């Protein structure tokens, strides 16, 4: 089985954006969203499901559009209403396609509001919807980086306690940049990944939460490319080796859109810490003229690597089942429901 741990509902019916546009205009609670099951079926069957089938993956760990989270827009109330709508829509996708998608929650974060505010929605998504993780935004301000680092005890720890209790990991994923210094998918995403990794490296977060798990997407931002730098920085700070310090808790996905990047990733990061992902349909949608194939068809690169069958099986499936503690039982439930 091939599990893609990083997919967003980027093809949602246009009614969703119309709802959001109302919010952006200042109306926190627009008229209830009306999207039919047929509309959802159409967007999925012609979108993510078609590409799963074309490319040969089986299950996508699926969440609302990351750039759409827009935690910097409006107030805490705005984010709560928006997040409810987005997560409910993911739940409907999963109910319609239980053999192909499994849910991950957006959180109603807002700059200046403690993340404990997101506990209720996480519980709802996990306990009522069967979601198996969440996307945690290390910078709800959208590129101004005004909130405390992810390692701040008072700010973040109550939320981590709930994650650990529920046995769900978080993908560390910023949303759209509203700072003109950053391009959302070209620099803000990658910079968010790198910043979060370094926050973890310089803290005792995982000493305090030994079972807390983070997935750093986009191949870990700049981290694997600069693995020597990070190993050396940890060493200069008299910290334990990175493996011991971070690799029981931090995982990287394979959203790297060319073969040399995938070669590097799998060369420097232990195979136990890499989860297959493509982020399709996502940031990069074209065909690479150098290969004749889509940039984000990441499976194609991985198939070109000289991985042992057991390593490949872990990267494609085993690691995801281990990192997402609720994945296997939830899949069993979803498969049973679909027969």
Which positions are annotated as active-site residues?
279
111 forms part of the interface with a copy of itself (CB under 8 A)? no
Among 3, 59, 190, 277, interactor with a copy of itself by CB under 8 A = 190
- Smallest separation (angstroms) from a copy of itself to the CB of 285: 6
Residue 32 is given by DSSP the state: P
Burial class (CB in 10 A: 0-12, 13-18, 19+), 4: buried
Neighbours of 308 (CB within 10 A): 9
Neighbours of 117 (CB within 10 A): 17
288 strand-pairing partners: 293
User: For residues 226-265, which are near a copy of itself according to CB under 8 A?
Assistant: 226-233, 235-236, 256-258, 260-261, 263-264
Among 25, 31, 154, 180, interactor with a copy of itself by CB under 8 A = 180
Whether the bond between 281 and the residue before it is cis, its omega within 30 degrees of 0, is: yes
- Smallest separation (angstroms) from a copy of itself to the CB of 99: 30
* Residue of 49, 36, 38, 58 lying closest to 9 (CA atoms): 49
Any idea of the CA torsion for 298, 125, 331, 313, to the nearest 10 degrees?
30
- Smallest separation (angstroms) from a copy of itself to the CB of 3: 22
156 forms part of the interface with a copy of itself (CB under 8 A)? no
Tokens of 208: 């305090």
160 forms part of the interface with a copy of itself (CB under 8 A)? no
Among 221, 254, 275, 302, interactor with a copy of itself by CB under 8 A = 221
Stretch that binds a copy of itself, among 70-78, 98-106, 145-153, 325-333 (CB under 8 A): 145-153
Rounded to whole angstroms, what are the CA distances from 235 to 156, 239, 331? 27, 6, 41
Contact positions vs a copy of itself (CB under 8 A): 138-139, 143-145, 147-149, 179-183, 185-187, 190-191, 194-195, 197-199, 201-202, 218-219, 221-222, 224-233, 235-236, 256-258, 260-261, 263-264, 267-268, 283-286, 288, 295-296
């Amino acid at each position: 089985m091939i599990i893609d741990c990083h997919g967003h509902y980027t093809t949602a019916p246009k009614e969703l954006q119309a709802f959001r546009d109302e919010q952006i205009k200042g109306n926190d609670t627009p008229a209830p969203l009306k999207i039919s099951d047929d509309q959802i079926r159409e967007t999925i069957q012609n979108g993510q499901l078609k590409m799963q089938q074309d490319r040969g993956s089986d299950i996508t760990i699926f969440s609302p559009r990351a750039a759409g989270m827009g935690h910097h827009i409006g107030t805490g109330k705005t984010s709560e209403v928006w997040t409810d709508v987005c997560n409910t829509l993911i739940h409907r996708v999963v109910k319609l396609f239980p053999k192909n998608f499994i849910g991950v929650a957006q959180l109603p974060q807002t700059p200046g509001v403690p993340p404990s505010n997101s506990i209720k929605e996480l519980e709802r998504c996990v306990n009522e919807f069967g979601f198996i993780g969440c996307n945690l935004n290390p910078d709800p301000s959208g590129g101004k980086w005004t909130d405390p680092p992810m390692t701040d005890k008072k700010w973040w720890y109550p939320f981590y306690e709930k994650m650990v209790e529920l046995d769900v990991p978080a993908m560390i994923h910023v949303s759209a940049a509203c700072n003109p210094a950053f391009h959302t998918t070209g620099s803000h995403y990658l910079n968010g990944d790198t910043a979060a990794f370094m926050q973890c490296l310089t803290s005792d977060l995982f000493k305090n939460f030994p079972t807390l798990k983070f997935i750093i997407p986009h191949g870990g931002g700049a981290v694997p490319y600069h693995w020597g730098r990070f190993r050396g920085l940890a060493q200069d700070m008299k910290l334990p080796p990175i493996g011991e310090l971070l690799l029981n808790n931090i995982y990287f996905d394979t959203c790297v859109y060319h073969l040399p990047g995938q070669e590097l990733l799998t060369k420097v990061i232990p195979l136990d810490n890499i989860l297959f992902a493509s982020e399709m349909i996502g940031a990069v949608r074209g065909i690479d003229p150098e290969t004749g194939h889509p940039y984000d068809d990441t499976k194609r690169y991985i198939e070109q690597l000289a991985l042992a069958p057991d390593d490949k099986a872990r990267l494609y499936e085993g690691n995801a089942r281990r990192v997402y503690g609720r994945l296997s039982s939830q899949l069993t439930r979803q498969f049973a429901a679909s027969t």
